[in-house]
Amino acid sequence: MSTKINASMSLAKPDSQAISKTQKIAVALGVVGLFIMALALFNVEFPNKTLFLSLSLGLITIGTIVFSNDAYLNKQAGIKNDGVWFKSITSMGLWGWVLGIVLTLFYIVLYFKAEWFGLAADGGANGGLVALFDPLSRLLNGGPASQWFVYGTLYTVAILIFGYKFMLKYRHNRYEQLRTISVMFFQLAFAFLIPEFMARLNSETFSLPYYDLKNIWPLNYYNFDKYRVDSMIEAGDIGLAFLIFGIVSIFVISPILTYKYGKRWYCSWVCGCGGLAETAGDPFRHLSDKTQFAWKVERWVVHSVVVFVTLMTTAVIYSYLGHDSSKYWLTKDIFLLGVAGLLTLVFALVMIFKRKELAKDAKYGAIGYFVIIMVLIGMHYFSGTKDVFLVNTNFLKSSYGFLIGAIFSGVIGVGFYPIFGNRVWCRFGCPMAAVLGFQQRLFSRFRITTNGGQCISCGNCSTYCEMGIDVRAYAQKGENIVRSSCVGCGICSAVCPRGVLKLENDSMKGRINSNDILLGNDVDLMDLVNQK
Amino acid sequence: MEHIVIIGNGISGVTAARHIRKLSDKKISIISAETEHFFSRTALMYIYMGHMKYEHTKPYEDSFWKKNRIELKFAYVTAIDTTTKTLQLDNNEALNYDKLIISTGSKSNKFGWKGQDLKGVIGLYSKQDLDQLEAIAPNKEVCKRAVVVGGGLIGIELAEMLHTRHIPVTFLVREDNFWDGILPIGEAQMINRHIISHGIDLRLKSNLKEITADENGHADGIVIEETGEKISCNLVGLTAGVSPNIDMIKRSAVETDRGILVNRYLETNIEDVYAIGDCAQQREPIGNRKPIEAVWYTGRMMGETVAQTICGNRMPYNPGHWFNSAKFFDIEYQTYGWVFPTPKEGHAHFHWKHDDDLKCITIEYYLESNLFLGINIFGIRMRHEVFDRWLTEKRTTDYVIKHLKEANFEPEFYKTFEMEILRAYSEQFKMV
C-alpha cells in the first residue's frame, strides 16, 4: 500500500477543514504567546521576565485549551478524523512543510548553536530566549536557565497541553485517557520536576548528575559515561542506589514489565519521546510509511542502532576501567568477558527456544551482528591496542551522540513529525524500542487480538498506525498482531469501525496464530486450509 | 496451463484468485473496469470523510499482483460466449478462458422513480459513485442540501459522510423506523434518535415520489409521496439496497434470476463457469440466509470455497453461523446468530438498553427451551469466536447471560455492563 499523496478530487476544497471563530481566536492567543518568545529571541528586554514568561506560556496553554474544547466538546464523543487528509497541516500540505521546517531549524539551533537562543558564554548572563526562562529555572533549581531547561519546559508544556487535547479527542476511550494521563505525569514529574529539584540539592560536597529515572539505557545512552558513574559513586548511598536502579531497570524491571504488558508499558505509557509523539505528534500519526520496503529499512536501521549503542557503551565503560583486579574487581577483561558472555547467553537462549518464531531475515540479522561483535571483541583480545574494537572510544561516543542522539532523535525524530509521522525516531532509531520490541516479539503476553471474521479490510487501522504496521494485513486474515514495533497506543482498535481489534495480555500459548481462512466458514474448510 | 479468468476485482474475485494461487500454478487473470487494483469498497466512505486516501483502501501493495502472478486487466467485459469459452472486452480484445469465475458484485437499486437517472442522482457502491459524489457535493456551498433515500446501511453511511462536510441532509426512510425490517423496534428507535442527534433531518414513513430537475437536467429537488412536500436539494442519494450487477451476464447462456443462479458448489448451469459474491444467487437458500447475500465476508468465503473446487477439491459453500457488523455514526453494531425484528413463532426477545441511549442488546431465544438463537449488540464490542462456539454448543440464554463476560471484546479499562445486563435479565425472569 503506497501512501502517495493525491490532490483532493474536488476542484473546490471541501470546507470541513475550515476552523470556527472560537478556534481562530484560540489560534490568535497561542500565536501571541509564541510571539513573545520570538521577541525574546530577538533580544527584546522585557521589563518583567516572570510576567512575560507566564504570559507567553499561559497564552499558548489557554489557546490550545480553548481550541480543543471548541473542536471536540461541541461534538458527540467518537472518532474524530474528519478531514485529516484535507487539512494542509496534517496532509503534508504547505502548513505541514512550514511546521516541519520550523521544528527542524529549532532542533538544529538547540543542539549545535544554543548561543543563538541566548545561552550565556562562560560566566556571563543569559540573553534572548534562554534569559526569558531564567525566573522559572531559578524557582525550580535555583540557577539560571540553559537551552536544555528551555527545551525541557517547552517539551513538558507541549505534552501537557496536547495531552489535554488528545484526551478530549478520545474522551470515549478510557484506555487512551489513562495512557495519556500517565505520559503527562511521567513527563511532568520524572523528566521535568524531579531532576530540577535534585539539582537544587546539589552542593559543593554532594552532587548528582541530571537523572530522569525513567530514562533507561540504551535510550539514555550516556548513563554509564565516566563522569556520571563517578559522580553517582561519589554521592554515596543515594548515588549508588541510582546507579543500581539504572542497571536493574535494564536487566530486571523492563523485561518483567514487557513480559507482562508488552513494550507499551514504556513506549506509550512512560517514555518522554513516546509522550510527545502521542500528544503533540498525534495529528501526524497517519503519515507513517506502511510499505513493506519501509518495514525492511526499519528492521535494518533500528537493529544497527542497537549494535552501535552496545558497542559504543561497551567501549566507553571499557575505556575507564582498570587492568588491575586487586584494585577493583571489575577490570577491562572481566567486563568484556561479561558483555560477551551475556550476549552469547541471550543469543543461545533465543536460538534454542525461539528459533521457529523468528522470520528468516531476523535470524540472519541476529547471526550476522552477533558474529561481528564477537569478532571485534576477539580482535581486541589478540591485538591488545589501547582502543576498543579498533576505534577510538571518544570518537565512537561523539559520533553516536551526534548521529543518533541529536540528528536522529531530535532533528529527524521530531522536526519531521509533519512529514514522516510522529514515530520516526521510535520506529527507525530508538535502540530501547528495539530491545523491548525484541522481547515483545519473543517473550511477552501482549498481542492485539482480532475478532473472528468481522474485518472488512477498510484500512483505518493501518492508516492510523503511527509505527507503520500494516495492521489490516493481519486483521483480514483473523491473525493476532504480534509485532516487535507495536507500541500499544491502541489507536488501531479505537478507529476500527467493526470492533475487530483488542489489545490484550493473555497467555503465551497460541499467541501467534497464522490463519489462511477466517472464522465464519464451514468448520471443515477452516481446518483443511489452516492445517499445515 | 489452465487459464482461470475472474470478472470483477472485488473481495470475492480477489480472494478466489489468491487462494487459487496458493493451491496451484494455474494462469490467473482478473478483469475489472472499476479500478486497476483491488480496494476495500467498505472504506469508500472514509475517503470522502477525509479519514483515508484512496491509496489506503488497497489491502495489497501494487507490487503484490505481479509477485503472485495474478494478471490484472483494466477493461470491461461486453459479452461472454460460453460455447467457445471467450470473453469480449470493450477494447476489442478477446480473451479465452478454461474456467470462468463471475464476481461482478452489485449495483444500486432504482425502483423506477421519476427522475432517477438525472444528473446529481447517485448510488453509493462503486469508486465511480464516489468520484461523482465528490464532484456534486464537494462542500456545503456547492451542495446546499442532500436527500438520501433509503434507510439501510448505505443510506446512513451516506448521511454520515455528507454530514462531515456540513452539508444538510434529509434522510427519507420508508419504514416506521430506521432499518426496522432487520432491527427490533427498541434498537431501531435508538438509532432513530442517534441519527437525529447528529442533526440529520430524518423523515420516517416517507417514500420518494419523484425527483425534479432544473433546466440543465440536474436534480434540484424531490417530492415526498405521503405529504407532497417538496424539498430542494443538489444531490439525491439512492440507497435503497443493491442488486446483482448482471446485465451483461443476462445476454449470455448463463442462467440468471435476480442473480446468477448457482448450486451449493457455486457452479452455474454452464460447465466451468462459477459465480461468487454479491452477484450469485443460491438456488436453495442456506438456512436462514437470503439466497443473495451482499455481505463482505460471504463474498470472501465464497472465493475461498470456489478456489478449492477449481483446484480439484470440489467443495460446497457452507457458511457457518450468521454474523455481521456495521456502524451507525458513533454506534457500533454487531450481530451473531439470528435476531428477527419481531420474534419468530415460539421465540422471544430479551432487550436491554443503557441509560445513555447509545448501548443496547437484544437476544432472541426459544421460549420453551430457553435456547439461545442470536444477539444484536449496539455500542459494546463482543467476541465472534465465543458466540460462534455458544451457537454450536446450543447454549441456553441463561448460560449466555451468565457467561457474557467471556465474550467481552471491549478495550482495556472500559466500563463493563455484564452485571447490569444480568440484573435486568434476572428481574425480567425472576431468575435466582
pLDDT tens string, chain B, 432 residues long: the values are: 899 999 999 999 999 999 999 999 999 999 999 999 999 999 999 999 999 999 999 999 999 999 999 999 999 999 999 999 999 999 999 999 999 999 999 999 999 999 999 999 999 999 999 999 999 999 999 999 999 999 999 999 999 999 999 999 999 999 999 999 999 999 999 999 999 999 999 999 999 999 999 999 999 999 999 999 999 999 999 999 999 999 999 999 999 999 999 999 999 999 999 999 999 999 999 999 999 999 999 999 999 999 999 999 999 999 999 999 999 999 999 999 999 999 999 999 999 999 999 999 999 999 999 999 999 999 999 999 999 999 999 999 999 999 999 999 999 999 999 999 999 999 988 654
Question: What burial letters (b/e) apply to A449-485, b meaning 16+ CB within 10 Å?
Answer: bbbbbbbbbbbbbbbbbbbbbbbbbbbbbbbbbbbbb
Q: Flag whether pLDDT at A498 surpasses 90.
A: yes
In CATH terms, the superfamily for domain B3-107+243-310 is FAD/NAD(P)-binding domain (3.50.50.60)
Q: Where along chain B do its domains lie?
A: 3-107+243-310, 121-240, 323-429
Query: DSSP label at A429?
Result: I
Nearest CA in chain A to B48: A83
The CA-atom distances, in angstroms, between A151 and each of A146, A148, A156, A184, B197 are 9, 5, 8, 16, 44
Q: Flag whether pLDDT at A238 surpasses 60.
A: yes
Around A118, how many Cα atoms within 13 Å sit in the side-chain half-sphere? Answer: 24
What would the grid cell of residue B331 be? 454506534
Residue of A376 and B182 predicted with greater confidence: B182
User: Whole-structure pTM over 0.95, yes or no?
Assistant: no
Beta strands B3-7 and B280-282 are unpaired
Which of the listed residues A158, A183, A201 is the one where a domain comes to its end?
A201
Closest CA to B15 of B416, B338, B296: B296
Please, is A366 exposed, middle or buried when counting C-beta atoms within 10 Å of its C-beta (0-12, 13-18, 19+)? middle
Q: Which domain holds residue A470?
A: 447-530
Closest CA to A335 of A322, A344, A345: A322
Interchain contact, B51 vs A81, CB within 8 Å: yes
Mutate which of A174, A451, A515 to test chain B, going by most B C-beta atoms within 10 A?
A451
Chain B residues within 8 A of A6 when measuring between CB atoms:
53-55
Selecting from A11, A15, A503 the residue whose C-beta is nearest the C-beta of B411 gives A503
Chain B residues within 8 A of A88 when measuring between CB atoms:
none
Interchain contact, A82 vs B415, CB within 8 Å: no
Residue of A19 and B370 predicted with greater confidence: B370
Interchain contact, B304 vs A13, CB within 8 Å: no
Mutate which of B18, B132, B381 to test chain A, going by most A C-beta atoms within 10 A?
B381
A372 in a domain, yes or no?
A: no
What would the grid cell of residue B181 be? 425490517
pLDDT average, residue stretch A265-291 = 96
DSSP strands (E only) in B103-215: 106-108, 121-122, 146-149, 169-172, 201-203, 208-213
A30 in a domain, yes or no?
A: yes
pLDDT average, residue stretch A300-305 = 87
The Cα of A436 is separated from the nearest Cα of chain B by a number of Å equal to: 21
Number of domains in chain A: 2
Interchain contact, B55 vs A497, CB within 8 Å: no
Interchain contact, B318 vs A524, CB within 8 Å: yes
List all residues 6 or more positions away from B156 whose beta carbon is below 8 Å from its beta carbon: B171, B178, B179, B191, B195, B328, B329
Residue of B3 and A43 predicted with greater confidence: B3
Chain A residues within 8 A of B157 when measuring between CB atoms:
none
| pLDDT given for residue B200 in this prediction | 97
Digit-coded pLDDT (tens) for A119-173? 887 778 888 899 999 999 999 988 899 999 999 999 999 999 999 999 999 999 9
Interchain contact, A10 vs B165, CB within 8 Å: no
A492 in a domain, yes or no?
A: yes
Q: Flag whether pLDDT at A14 surpasses 60.
A: no
Interchain contact, B323 vs A9, CB within 8 Å: no
Chain B residues within 8 A of A454 when measuring between CB atoms:
297, 323, 325, 334, 384
Closest CA to B173 of B158, B155, B197, B157: B155
Dist CA A365 CA A357 (whole Å): 14
- Say if domain B323-429 classifies as CATH 3.30.390.30: yes
| pLDDT given for residue A8 in this prediction | 41
Which of the listed residues A142, A170, A201 is the one where a domain comes to its end?
A201
A292 in a domain, yes or no?
A: no
Beta strands B146-149 and B235-238 are parallel
A322 in a domain, yes or no?
A: no
CATH at residue A473: 3.30.70
Digit-coded pLDDT (tens) for A442-464? 889 999 999 989 999 999 999 99
Dist CA B222 CA B148 (whole Å): 10
What is the residue type of B345?
E
Is B3-107+243-310's fold the same as B121-240's?
A: yes
Which of the listed residues A201, A224, A245 is the one where a domain comes to its end?
A201
The Cα of A223 is separated from the nearest Cα of chain B by a number of Å equal to: 34
Nearest CA in chain A to B161: A82
Residues in chain A, total: 532
Please, is B67 exposed, middle or buried when counting C-beta atoms within 10 Å of its C-beta (0-12, 13-18, 19+)? exposed
DSSP secondary structure of B337-370: E---SSPPTTEEEEEEE-TTSS-EEEEEEETTT-
A167 in a domain, yes or no?
A: yes
Distant-in-sequence contacts of A373-380, Cβ < 8 A, 24+ apart: A373/A307, A373/A310, A373/A311, A373/A340, A373/A343, A374/A340, A374/A343, A374/A344, A376/A311, A377/A336, A377/A339, A377/A340, A380/A336
The number of C-beta contacts closer than 8 angstroms across A and B is 207
Selecting from A1, A451, A456 the residue whose C-beta is nearest the C-beta of B384 gives A451
Interchain contact, B141 vs A12, CB within 8 Å: yes
Nearest CA in chain B to A12: B138
Chain B residues within 8 A of A480 when measuring between CB atoms:
none
Digit-coded pLDDT (tens) for A381-394? 654 555 655 667 77
The Cα of A268 is separated from the nearest Cα of chain B by a number of Å equal to: 15
Confidence class for position A531, pLDDT limits 50, 70, 90: low
| pLDDT given for residue A522 in this prediction | 67
Between helix A147-169 and helix A134-141 the angle, nearest 10°, is 90
Digit-coded pLDDT (tens) for A389-415? 566 777 878 888 888 888 888 888 888
pLDDT average, residue stretch A289-316 = 88
Selecting from B49, B56, B415 the residue whose C-beta is nearest the C-beta of A1 gives B56
Digit-coded pLDDT (tens) for A75-118? 999 999 999 999 999 999 999 999 999 999 999 999 988 889 98
| pLDDT given for residue A3 in this prediction | 39
Nearest CA in chain A to B143: A14
Q: Flag whether pLDDT at A380 surpasses 60.
A: yes
Query: DSSP label at A519?
Result: B
Class of domain B121-240: alpha beta
Digit-coded pLDDT (tens) for A424-439? 999 999 999 999 998 9
pLDDT average, residue stretch A339-355 = 81
Mutate which of A10, A177, A464, A496 to test chain B, going by most B C-beta atoms within 10 A?
A10
Q: Flag whether pLDDT at A206 surpasses 80.
A: no
Interchain contact, B40 vs A457, CB within 8 Å: yes
Chain A residues within 8 A of B12 when measuring between CB atoms:
none
The Cα of B345 is separated from the nearest Cα of chain A by a number of Å equal to: 27
On whether ipTM exceeds 0.90, the answer is yes
Interchain contact, B55 vs A499, CB within 8 Å: no
The Cα of B5 is separated from the nearest Cα of chain A by a number of Å equal to: 22
**C-alpha angle with apex B56: A492 to A499, nearest 5 degrees?**
30
A363 in a domain, yes or no?
A: no
| pLDDT given for residue A183 in this prediction | 97
List all residues 6 or more positions away from B8 whose beta carbon is below 8 Å from its beta carbon: B30, B31, B32, B102, B103, B104, B105, B277, B279
Selecting from A463, A497, A518 the residue whose C-beta is nearest the C-beta of B56 gives A463
Chain B residues within 8 A of A292 when measuring between CB atoms:
61
